Amino acid sequence: MKETGTRNKRVVVAMSGGVDSSVSAALLKEQGYDVTGVSLQLYDPIPKEPGCRIKTCCSLDDVMDAARVARKLEITFEVLDMRAEFKQLVIDYFIAEYAAGRTPNPCIRCNELVKFDLLLEKAKKMGADLLATGHYARIAEDSSGCRRLMTGLDPAKDQSYFLFTLTKEQLRHILFPVGMLEKPSVRQLAAEYDLPVAQKNESQEICFIPDNDYVTFLESHGVAQQPGEIVTGDGIVIGRHLGSHRYTVGQRKGLGIAWHHPLHVRAIDTEKNRVVVGGREELETESFTAGGAIWNSITAATEFRATCRIRYRHKPAPCRVLVLDDSRFSVHFDFPQSAVSPGQAAVLYDGEYVLGGGWIE
């Protein structure tokens, strides 16, 4: 069924070659939009060595899958070369964050600076009114016409965490066609549309890193091995490491230390080149500060209640939020949370609505 007012309204669909963006394109065409599919070439092809398991998005194979879907749907299709921009804005950031002892989130960075900034502007120059993606999120419009970001209907697939940087102005030009669907329904629609990617597996890994081996990637891109000490919270040396970039907060496996109880990485001290470890209970944090705040939907309040996610699969935890200034806020949990990692995003919610977020300091 075609929605009122959509005929001849042009929309660019970011087609990653996966089932979600492919179904998004099919749904929009069925609703009467003038659809153009666009795939992004973001990095150079990764050689597939024997035995190397590679599951990516936005690879050349994925671009070819997107092209096949576009032919099936009989829509215009283009490939945009954004390798230089992606390297500068995402890959270089990823390397620098790890080298500084933080845990980056390249997917959020890509959404913020590549897909919903550069690509959105390119879509407008192509004469499009809207940009659509296959993200599992929703956009609601209030009585004043202001659009607000919401969680996806399918809680198991909700991707609002990766989209907290979207501004109110950007939300006016964005569609999430599968945000109101559950994943099995999307699969079923792909089969009904007879799309060539209907049974394609999903990618759960960082797109530009082969076999999800980020350590090898970092060291092949200039992050040097710098041996240092592994210490307890009170400074007792209990082991050695080959480089602090090989560790993340919360990590338990791969420490190479025999101890009378399981050890986890508590912190990474790049100034002293130390990895600080401790028991699981020492990972718990009652509060933290975040910078680079972006507010999607919030009043001028300096203190409010919310729930907070400190990583993608983290269950939103109830908290009190204090707005410190235009770019920083602090989060005070009702109950301590484990493995709060500097460099990760802290996203704030009011029920299903995204309030905003920032980067854990």
Q: Which residue in the list 57, 58, 107, 110 is annotated as catalytic?
A: 110
Structurally, how many domains does the chain consist of?
Answer: 3
pLDDT of 49 above 80: no
Choose the final residue of a domain: 181, 212, 243.
Answer: 212
Question: pLDDT by residue (tens digit) across 210-261?
Answer: 888 999 999 999 999 999 999 999 999 999 999 999 999 999 988 888 888 8
Q: Which residue has the tokens 């390249």?
A: 106
- Pick from 125, 182, 108, 187: nearest CA to 151: 182
Q: Which residue in the list 57, 58, 107, 207 is annotated as catalytic?
A: 207
Per the annotation, the verdict on 110 as an active-site residue is yes
Q: How many CB atoms lie within 10 A of CB 301?
A: 10
Return the pLDDT at 316.
97
- Same domain assignment for residues 18 and 160: yes
pLDDT of 1 above 70: no
pLDDT of 51 above 70: no
Choose the final residue of a domain: 160, 186, 212.
Answer: 212
- Same domain assignment for residues 274 and 289: no
Backbone φ and ψ of 68, nearest 5°: -65, -40
Return the pLDDT at 212.
86
* Mean pLDDT calculated for residue range 65-86: 97
* Mean pLDDT calculated for residue range 275-303: 90
- Pick from 360, 358, 353, 361: nearest CA to 299: 353
Which has the higher per-residue pLDDT, 53 or 283? 283
User: Do residues 276 and 235 touch, judged by C-beta distance below 8 A?
Assistant: no
Give just the sign of the alpha carbon dihedral 50, 86, 106, 67: negative
Per the annotation, the verdict on 52 as an active-site residue is no
Kindly state whether residue 70 falls inside one of the protein's structural domains: yes
* Mean pLDDT calculated for residue range 334-342: 96
Q: Which residue has the tokens 């200039």?
A: 222
* Mean pLDDT calculated for residue range 303-314: 96
- Pick from 35, 29, 60: nearest CA to 45: 60
Cα distances (Å, whole numbers) of residue 184 to 19, 160, 178, 297: 11, 19, 11, 30
Q: CATH no. for residue 320?
A: 2.40.30.10
* Mean pLDDT calculated for residue range 18-34: 97
- Same domain assignment for residues 204 and 344: no
**Structure-token pair, residue 316:** 């939103």
* Mean pLDDT calculated for residue range 33-56: 72
- Same domain assignment for residues 270 and 340: no
Host domain of residue 258? 224-278
- Same domain assignment for residues 259 and 189: no
Return the pLDDT at 301.
75
- Same domain assignment for residues 57 and 157: yes
- Same domain assignment for residues 235 and 167: no
pLDDT of 334 above 60: yes
pLDDT band at residue 7 using 50, 70 and 90 as cut-offs: low
pLDDT band at residue 46 using 50, 70 and 90 as cut-offs: low
Return the pLDDT at 256.
85
Give the distance, in angstroms, between the CA of residue 108 and the centroid of all CA atoms in the same chain: 4
